[in-house]
Amino acid sequence: MQNANLSAATRSRAITRQDVWQAADALLLAGQRPTIERIRLHLGRGSPNTVSPHLDAWFAGLGARLQDPQAFAAPADLPEPVNQAARYLWEAAQAEARAAVTASYAGREAALQQAQEELEAGQAALAQERAVLEAKLEAADRAQAELARARDEAGERAARAEAQLLAGQEDNDALRATLARAQVEKDALLRDTASQRAAWDKEREIITERSNANERRMALELDAARVAAREGQRLLDNERKAGQQKLAEAAETAGRLAEEVSRLGNALAVLDERVRQQDSLLAEYRQLLESRGSAEPEAVRARRSPARQGAGRARPIRPVRRTRLGA
């Protein structure tokens, strides 16, 4: 009962460095290699996390302890066979410990070398990956800067395009409004042109009718003037013949005949003047007909009126010098 209580009390106590070292020494003296599991089995308690640092410390200090012959010496009062066995066990333990330490060191050295190589390879790979990542990061930074610049330029171009689009839309609206006004003005101009053309056609017809009427009237007047001139000439000839006959027949009627001849001469002059004026009017009217509508009928009437007025006014009769019969 007491031993059970002692064992329980021992298990409940925390494992110390001395406990691990004593267990490792006992395992080494027994010819076994101290391990975490063997120490835990020897002590009957302890966790690997607790045993491991103490065991590492025991291995670290084992070389110095092996240099001390008294570190594992047996008590002096033991019999010689026991001392020999102890020495044999000690030597075996030392050999085993040396072999274990050597193997442990060799394994650790190989593991460290492998770890070092792996670490160097990993560092080289990491350096290469880092260089690649740095290059990629630099390229990404450049790409990001380029994208940012392109985005800014695209934003500026989009803003300019939007402004140009708005301006173009405003210009288009203004052009549409101008086009609509121009179309309205065009329609109005076409209507005005059609109206003016109709008025011009009507006025041209009126002018043509007036010109034709004036031409017919002037032709009639010219014909009448020519008839009158011929009749006057005929009368003048008859009167001259009669006058000459009367002058030959009687001297007393010479004065009367002279006066009659003078009167007839004045009438003939008037008729000649009228014929000349009618010829001039006819020439002017023919020129007017050639230009056909380029001059107003009022202008023709204005040019004709003075001629008529001049023709209507009787020229003063110049006295005719009496000639003596037989002169």
Instruction: Please indicate, yes or no, if residue 24 is contained in any of the structural domains.
Output: yes
Residue 203 in any domain: the answer is: no
- Give the end of a domain, one of 110, 129, 155: 110
The pLDDT score that the predictor gives to residue 53 is 92
With respect to residue 223, please indicate whether it lies within any of the assigned structural domains: yes
Q: Is residue 69 part of a domain?
A: yes
What is the domain count for the chain? 2
For the chain (length 327 residues), average pLDDT per consecutive 10?
45 79 87 89 89 91 72 58 65 69 69 77 80 82 84 85 84 86 87 84 85 84 83 83 75 74 84 86 83 59 54 47 45
Q: Tell me if 10 is assigned to some domain.
A: yes
Residue 158 lies in a domain: no
What would the DSSP string read from start to end of 262-309? HHHHHHHHHHHHHHHHHHHHHHHHHHHHHH-SSS-HHHHHHHHHHHHH
Question: Would you say 49 and 64 are in contact if contact means Cβ atoms under 8 Å apart?
Answer: no
Q: Residue 10, Cα to own-chain centre: how many angstroms?
A: 93
- pTM beyond 0.85: the answer is no
Q: Using one digit for the tens of pLDDT, what is the confidence trace for 67-117?
A: 665 555 555 555 666 666 666 766 776 677 677 667 766 766 777 777 778
Alpha-carbon torsion angle 87, 88, 90, 94, nearest 10: 130
Which of 77, 110, 143 is the endpoint of a domain?
A: 110
Query: Residue 274: what pLDDT?
Result: 85
pLDDT of residue 145: 86
pLDDT digits (tens, 9 = 90+) for 17-31: 999 998 988 888 888
Residue at which a domain ends, from 110, 133, 150: 110
Contact 29, 90 (CB under 8 A): yes
Domain of 234, in residue numbers: 209-312
Residues 6+ apart with CB under 8 A from 297: 207, 210, 211, 214
Residue 190 lies in a domain: no
Q: Is residue 152 included in any domain, yes or no?
A: no
